Structure 1
Amino acid sequence: ISTCARHRAQVDIKSEAGRALALDACRHADVLVEGFRPGVMERLGLGPEVLLKANPRLVYARMTGWGQDGPLAQAAGHDLNYIAVTGALDAIGKPGERPVPPQNLVGDFGGGSMYCALGILAALYERERSGKGQVVDAAIVDGVTSLMSFFFGLPQSAIRTTERGKGLLGGAAHFYRCYSCKDGKEISVGAIEPQFYAELCERAGAPSDLREGQMNPAAWDAKAEDMAALFATKTQAEWCELLEGTDACFAPVVPMDEARDHPHMKARGLYQEHGGRWHTAPAPRFDRTPGTIRDSVLDGEAVVAQWAAST
């Protein structure tokens, strides 16, 4: 899945022949992406100084967890460790309970891969002006910290706080959380704006005391209990019939293996079957050059021949 549409060749860069092949390929490449610990590529003779000398236009992207320097640069780690030191993990979960790992979306994919790709694109764009490549130091801790800039910039208050399970966006607000339905399935509500909250209450048949004092944090716990009792009176499907597609800021909580059957996801074509397997559709979408799902090809000789032909 992660190598979809790539033409791949396995090269032993610990051997002289493999290093020579890699160096030759980089002479004509636009981008190199490496994910070793800092210093490994240098020891192999394929560090930035060597490759940028061979190809001054090369964008040399270095994808790591901790970054190229700092006291933890040489330490092993995974997504959970990286987001732990940024403050992101501490904010996710319920008050008084342990933090909840958010899969590996925040670090590996959000602060890591996406920021690495963004850095590569920025470096390629800059190269059009300068004619020169450069090194992109893409650390997961850097990217996640950047993602959190919005929260660091907020003035801290009962409504805006990064304290775990508290604040408007942390799950404390009764109008921005998930609830269980009569059938045990779950729904999400995110009616922050007053007009959307009013529509949620009106369509859901909320009692008058639930409709008042939306932004009073002292009343959120009690109102959450009332709203939980309200949503427990109907099944998820019944609430979808009443609220989905309106300005109530509502959506059902859909299990991952059922997401492709949701009407909106189907209409957008967000899941496509290819080669006997379901794939997520390319995103974002381009109107002139749309992306397609293609097979990965592991044919080292053909790839090497293609490299040679391009020199």
Structure 2
Amino acid sequence: MGPLKGIRVVEIAGIGPGPFAAMMLADLGADVVRVDRADRVRDEVPATPHPDLLNRGRRSLGIDLKNPDGAEAVLKLVEGADGLIEGFRPGVAERLGIGPDACLARNPKLVYGRMTGWGQDGPYASMAGHDINYIALSGVLGAIGREGEAPVPPVNLAGDFGGGGMLLALGMLAGMLEARTSGQGQVVDASMVEGSALLITMIYGMQAMGAWGPRGTNLLDTGAWFYDVYECADGEYISLGSLEPQFFAEMVDKVGIDRDGIDQNDRSTWPEMRTRLTAAIKAKTRDEWCEILDGSDACFAPVLSLAEAPKHPHNIARGTFVEVGGAVQPGPAPRFSRTPAQIARPAPNPGQHTAEVLGDWGFAPAEVAALRESGAVR
């Protein structure tokens, strides 16, 4: 199942964007094996799946990368892989003996994916950091927030996942596709600074055209009263995004506010119209607004919590969320008509499939036994 059936990827365990990229590839059918640290493997495999949903769809083996035999085991896995993903700071993989040169020497067709915040070089390359820092440097964080207020971090979506893991997955796919024709692998250097900058390309374009001003004063950043979230009578919120004139007219009509003589694009009227719309929305509950606006072209949706979203009728109809291993979670995306993606298995516990994976990837029983005896695998 899945369009990537037959693709094999080795994932060196990390956190955040690397696992997300590996999850996407596994959802799409790739056989992704996760190399977890040997010291995280328990003597007995827990009866329940691991709770980290980002690790779903893979099998896990425990390897001590500081053990020379463990590093050698990774290199042997690489011999049968199409790609490898690692998220160490620059230079760490090389010191462990599993850097690009060592891996490509074993498999010249390998696509070696590297996930970092700052990139493999540059003045910040060796510094620690997190999503908030990377999107600060790319200009993304500075663009998000209300006028006169501090920037608002959009949790860790723009750096870790949109600009990081998703861009790495795209890079891996492009590299593996090219390797099929050239017979040569390469290194994919995925940086969250550069990835998040890429996500905000349209806004840089609007700025170049003179159509983007300070934070919180623009069409898409809560500057416009007809593109914002509003509180309802019950303390819940709805979202409105009626940018186009026909959608704007329908929103105003459905909400029932008076805009006689008011031009949608006349910024001098925006404060007054925001006051009117705020009062109108506050007069009804979120459910009442759903009854009024559902099915319309007002560009509306209720603002749902993480607990509510899986229960919404549209998400149920589309199968947006699925339950695997007892955990409700977002399902694979996008959709494929002939080779549907699926979650092959719940998140593994570290080392749960060590012997199974080694056997499937060409290790003889005696080799597995020797690796166990040396402490290289667990």
Judge same fold: TM > 0.5, yes or no: yes
> Counterparts of 2:78 and 2:234 in 1: how far apart (Å)?
58
Verify the 8 A CA contact 2:238 2:300 in the aligned structure 1: yes
Q: In structure 1, what is the Cα distance between the partners aligned to 2:220 and 2:338?
A: 37
Q: Is 1:263 the counterpart of 2:313 in the alignment?
A: yes
1:233 — aligned with what?
Answer: 283
Work out which of the residue numbers 200, 205, 213 in structure 2 matches 1:148.
200
Offset at residue 162 of structure 1 (A): 5.1
Q: Secondary structure at the match of 2:290?
A: helix
2:272 aligned residue: 222
The residue number in structure 1 matching 2:110 is 58
CA–CA separation in structure 2 for the residues paired with 1:39 and 1:162: 40
Change (3 A) 1:268 1:253: same
Find the counterpart in structure 1 of residue 299 from structure 2.
Answer: 249
CA contact (8 A) 1:162 1:170 kept: no
What code does the residue aligned with 1:268 have?
A: R
- CA shift for structure 1 position 32: 0.5
Counterpart amino acid of 2:253?
E
Matches within 5 A, 1:138-217: 138-155=190-207, 160-161=211-212, 163-209=214-260, 212-217=262-267
Q: Is the 8 A contact 2:232 2:285 kept in 1?
A: yes
Residue identity over aligned pairs, in percent, reads 48
State the alpha-carbon separation in 2 of the partners of residues 208 and 90 from structure 1: 33
The answer for the alignment partner of 1:299 in structure 2 is 353
For residues 34-55 of structure 1, the C-alpha deviation after alignment (integer angstroms, 9 at most, x for no partner) is: 0000011111222111211211
Contact 2:226 2:242 in 1 (8 A): yes
Give the drift of 1:57.
0.2
Q: Do the aligned partners of 1:92 and 1:164 also contact (CA within 8 Å) in 2? A: yes
Match of 2:55 in 1: 3
For the residue of structure 2 that corresponds to 1:187, the secondary structure is: strand
Work out whether residues 54 and 347 of structure 2, in 8 Å CA contact, stay in contact via their aligned partners in 1.
Answer: no
CA contact (8 A) 1:91 1:162 kept: no
- Which amino acid letter does the alignment assign opposite residue 192 of structure 2? I
Letter of the aligned partner of 2:167 in structure 1?
Y
More displaced stretch, 102-111 vs 277-286: 277-286
CA distance in 1, matches of 2:325, 2:204: 45
- Higher relative contact order at CA 8 Å, sep ≥6: structure 1 or structure 2? 2
Asked if 1:126 is matched to 2:178, the reply is: yes
For 2:334 and 2:262, the matched residues in 1 are separated by 40
- Deviation per CA, 1:60-93, whole angstroms, max 9, x where unpaired? 0000000000011010011011111111111111
Residues 152, 208 of structure 1: alpha-carbon distance in 2 compared, 3 angstrom cutoff: closer
The Cα of 1:236 is off from its aligned counterpart by 1.0
Q: CA RMSD in A?
A: 1.6
Q: How does 1:275-290 map to 2 (within 5 A)?
A: 275-290=325-340
* Displacement of 1:133: 0.8
The one-letter code matched in structure 1 to 2:297 is D
Residue 289 of structure 1 deviates from its aligned partner by 1.7
CA distance in 2, matches of 1:98, 1:277: 36
- Counterpart residue type for residue 255 of structure 1: S
Cα distance change of structure 1 residues 279 and 208 upon mapping to structure 2, 3 Å threshold? closer
Equivalent-residue separation in structure 1 for 2:213 and 2:355 (angstroms): 53
Per the TM alignment, residue 155 of structure 1 is displaced from its structure 2 partner at its CA by 4.0
Partners of 1:162 and 1:137 lie apart in 2 by 32
Q: Which residue number in structure 2 is paired with residue 101 of structure 1? A: 153
How far did residue 287 of structure 1 move?
Answer: 1.6
Aligned residue-pair number: 308
Q: 1:180 to 1:157 in 2, by over 3 A?
A: farther
Q: Helix, strand or coil for the counterpart of 1:2?
A: helix
- For the residues of structure 1 that align with 2:81 and 2:213, how far apart are their CA atoms? 43
For residue 309 of structure 1, report the CA deviation from its aligned partner.
5.6
Q: Look up the equivalent residue of 1:258 and give its one-letter code.
A: E
Q: Compute the displacement of 1:164 (Å).
A: 1.5
Give the one of 107, 112, 120 matched to 1:68: 120
Correspondence for 1:25: 77
Q: Go from structure 1 to structure 2 and tell me whether the alpha carbon gap of 1:157 and 1:186 turns closer, same or farther (over 3 Å shift).
A: farther
Deviation, structure 1 residue 157 = 7.5
1:274 pairs with 2:324: yes
